Structures are given as structure tokens and as C-alpha cells.
Structure 1
Amino acid sequence: MKLQVAIDLLTTADALALSHQVAPHVDIIELGTPLIKNAGLSAISAVKAAHPDKQVFADLKTADAGELEADLAFAAGADLVTVLGSAADATIAGAVKAARAHGKGVVADLINHPDRVHRARELAELGVEFVEVHAGLDEQAQPGYSIEVLLRDGRESGVPFSIAGGVKLSTIAQVQASGASVAVAGAAIYGAPDPAAAARELKEAIRAAEPAAV
């Protein structure tokens, strides 16, 4: 399972500062939607130039004009871009077309979708790299929220998936056991007193839970 850091900061300088701290311990560097809206596509280029060995994930959450928006992000240096899972099939297909032209990938974000399991299967058929089973910050703040809802939907979908929403040291083993391809940690890393140490601990926990090589 890969570890993805979600950088939900607002400036390129802050994103670069954080990425330099955590890059040795993560596989994917995600540039959050607020960052890209505030700093523009240049933030993607800057982070990719600083970390050419990492996958850079542009969290566009595209809802329309899939091919155009994905093409812009890929041209700026993104390796993965998000489209909303609730977007029209034509929007998803357009983003996938752009990804194939660039040799990159599309991730479909299932945030707020009423039937994540069924839609995840449809999205896989449309050619996305994987689906992100995601609870946003507002959903996580609701009383009674549990990451187990995401883990259940990911398991039941039967397609490659990531988990975003409550991934932290106390839940990382559950995420790995669910069969997720990627664990997305945001506040657990960028909100920690020592982000590098937090990322390292998560990565070590993932490695510790991996089956022993035969």
C-alpha cells in the first residue's frame, strides 16, 4: 500500500516546505484543491520539479470539461488528477483520454456520492486508475463519523481504491487490511508538530503490516 500526503495548504512556498520534509517517507504528493485554486497550476510544476521521483497528484475535483482540465494539469507536471465520481461519464472519459495521451492517470473521487460501491465499479469500467473512497472535512466533522464506512465500501467495490478521511496512525492498519492501494493522510501529517516524523511513523506502520516475503 502506498502512502499519499494531502497538502491542504494555500501557498506554493508552504507546500514546498512541507513536501521537502515528508518526501522521503511518502509515495504520492497530493496538492489539495484549495492550494491549486489559490496558487494555480504553477504549484504543480514547482512540486514536480522539486520531487521528480514522486507521483504528484493534482486534486482538481473536476466536474466538467474533463479532457481540458486534465490536459492542463498533466502539462503542468501532474502524474494523477482527480475528477468527481459524480461527474458525467463523458467527463470521466474525457479525463481518461487526456491521461492516456500523456501516459498518466485519473483518480475518481467519490466524495458525497450516495452509492460509492456501484459507482466505483462503473468508474473502473471507464478506465480510471483507481477510485478514492473519500469523506471530506465536513463529513468527518459530523457526529458519529467512522472511517469504517469508507473501508467497507472500498472492500465491497472490488476495484482498486484509496481511502481518504480519517487516515492516521491509529487507523492505518485497518486501512491496509481493507485492501486499499493507497492511504491518504492529510491533517495527520501536515497538522502534526513534526510532519516528517508523522509521515515516517505511518510509513513504518504500513511496512510492519505487510506480509512477509516468501
Structure 2
Amino acid sequence: MELQVALDVVDLPSALTLANQVAEFVDILELGTPLVKSVGIGAVSAVKAAHPDKLVFVDLKTADAGELEAGLAFEAGADLVTVMGAADDDTVRGAVAAGRKYGKSVVADMITVTEGRVARIREVAKLGVSFVEIHAGLDEQARPGYTIATLLEDGRQAGVPFSIAGGVKIDTIGSVREAGAKVAVAGGAIYNATDPAAAAKELKKHATA
């Protein structure tokens, strides 16, 4: 299982600093949506230039104009781009078309999809995305009773390639791996750590155990 770090900061120097700290221990560097909105698409080029050997994942959360938006990110150096799993099928198809044009990958982000999530995961998987990210956002995670177990069970049931984002940390990453995820996405467990590099190293050890 690969480890992805979410660079959930809002300025480029902080993103580059965090990327430099953890790149040795992660497979994928993710530019969070707030970073792209704050800095612009140029942040993609900057991170890719600093770490050309890493996959750069751009969390656009595209909800419309899929081919246009994905194309902008791929032009800037992205390796993977997200489109909303809740978006219109043609939006997903458009992003996938851009991915094919550039030889890159599109990921369907299932954030906001709670009812009928397994069925929708299977639907979008058929539209040509590389994999599906089963994702609970920060607001959902803050609600009483939230558990990552729901995401893991949906991944098991869906039967398609998936990643997990939403509460991945040292005491849950083993369960993520055992559920069959191809990627574990860690955010706060790394960037909120006293030593982000050490946190990333420990998570990577459990991701590949």
C-alpha cells in the first residue's frame, strides 16, 4: 500500500517545507484544495519541480468542466487529479479524457457521498478513473460518532481499487491496509506531528508491513 501525504496548508513555502521533510517516506505528495485555491495552479509546478521523483496529486475536487480543469493541472505537472464522485457522469468522463491525453490519472473523490456510496463508487469506477478515494472530510470527521470503519467497509464491499482519506493515523493504518486499499492518505497525523518526518516514516512502515 502506498502512502500519500496531504499538504493541507495554504501557502507555498509551508507546502514545500512539509514536502521536503516527508518526501523520503511517502509515495504521493498531495496539494490540498485550500492550497490550490490560495496559491493557484503554479503551486503544482513548484512542488513537482522540487520533487520530480514523486507522484503529485492535485485535489481539485472538480464539480464541472472536468476536461478543462483536469487539463490545467496536468499541464502544470500533476500526475493525479481529483474529480468529485458526486459530479455529473460527463464531468467525470471529461476529466478522464484529459488524463488519457496527458497519460496521467484521475481519481474520483467520494467526499459528500454518504447515501448509496458503494453503488456510486461502482458507477464511477466504470467511467475510467484510476481509482476511487473514499473520503470523509474534516467536517464529517468532527461529528460525534465518526469512525473510519465505515469507509473501510465500503471499500471492501465496492470491489474496485480505492484509497482511504479521513482519519488515517498510526492506530488505523493497519486496518486500512488490511481492507485492501491501494493508497492511505494521511493529513493531520503528519502535518500536526511534532516531527512530521518521523510520523511519516512510522506510517510508511505500517503501510508496507
TM score, norm. by length of structure 2:
0.99
Matched, 1:195 2:158: no
Matched, 1:20 2:20: yes
Q: State the alpha-carbon separation in 2 of the partners of residues 12 and 48 from structure 1.
A: 12
What SS does the corresponding residue of 1:150 show, helix, strand or coil?
Answer: helix
Please name the residue that 1:124 is paired with. Answer: 125
How many residues align structurally? 208
Please name the residue that 1:161 is paired with. Answer: 162
Please name the residue that 2:183 is paired with. Answer: 182
Q: State the alpha-carbon separation in 1 of the partners of residues 36 and 159 from structure 2.
A: 31
Once the two structures are superposed, what CA deviation does each residue of 1:46-77 show, in whole Å capped at 9, x if it has no partner?
A: 00001111100000000000000000000000
* Post-superposition offset of 1:116: 1.5
Please name the residue that 2:68 is paired with. Answer: 68
* Post-superposition offset of 1:112: 1.4
Please name the residue that 2:111 is paired with. Answer: 111
* Post-superposition offset of 1:207: 2.3
TM score, norm. by length of structure 1:
0.96
* Post-superposition offset of 1:115: 1.7
Once the two structures are superposed, what CA deviation does each residue of 1:63-93 show, in whole Å capped at 9, x if it has no partner?
A: 0000000000000000000000000000000
Report runs of 4+ in structure 1 exceeding 6 Å deviation. none
What SS does the corresponding residue of 2:208 show, helix, strand or coil?
Answer: helix
Look up the equivalent residue of 1:156 and give its one-letter code: Q
Please name the residue that 2:4 is paired with. Answer: 4
Identity %: 67
What SS does the corresponding residue of 2:185 show, helix, strand or coil?
Answer: strand
Identify unmatched segments of 5+ residues in structure 2: none
Look up the equivalent residue of 2:4 and give its one-letter code: Q
Once the two structures are superposed, what CA deviation does each residue of 1:81-107 show, in whole Å capped at 9, x if it has no partner?
A: 000000000000000000000000000
What pairs with 1:26-41 in structure 2 (closer than 5 Å)?
26-41=26-41
Identify unmatched segments of 5+ residues in structure 1: 209-214
Q: State the alpha-carbon separation in 2 of the partners of residues 66 and 207 from structure 1.
A: 33
Once the two structures are superposed, what CA deviation does each residue of 1:148-197 show, in whole Å capped at 9, x if it has no partner?
A: 00000011000000000000000010000000000000000001000000
Matched, 1:170 2:171: yes
Q: State the alpha-carbon separation in 2 of the partners of residues 59 and 175 from structure 1.
A: 21
Please name the residue that 1:93 is paired with. Answer: 93
What SS does the corresponding residue of 1:106 show, helix, strand or coil?
Answer: strand
**Over aligned residue pairs, what C-alpha RMSD do you find?**
0.5
What SS does the corresponding residue of 2:168 show, helix, strand or coil?
Answer: coil
Q: State the alpha-carbon separation in 2 of the partners of residues 32 and 51 from structure 1.
A: 16
Look up the equivalent residue of 1:88 and give its one-letter code: D
* Post-superposition offset of 1:39: 0.3
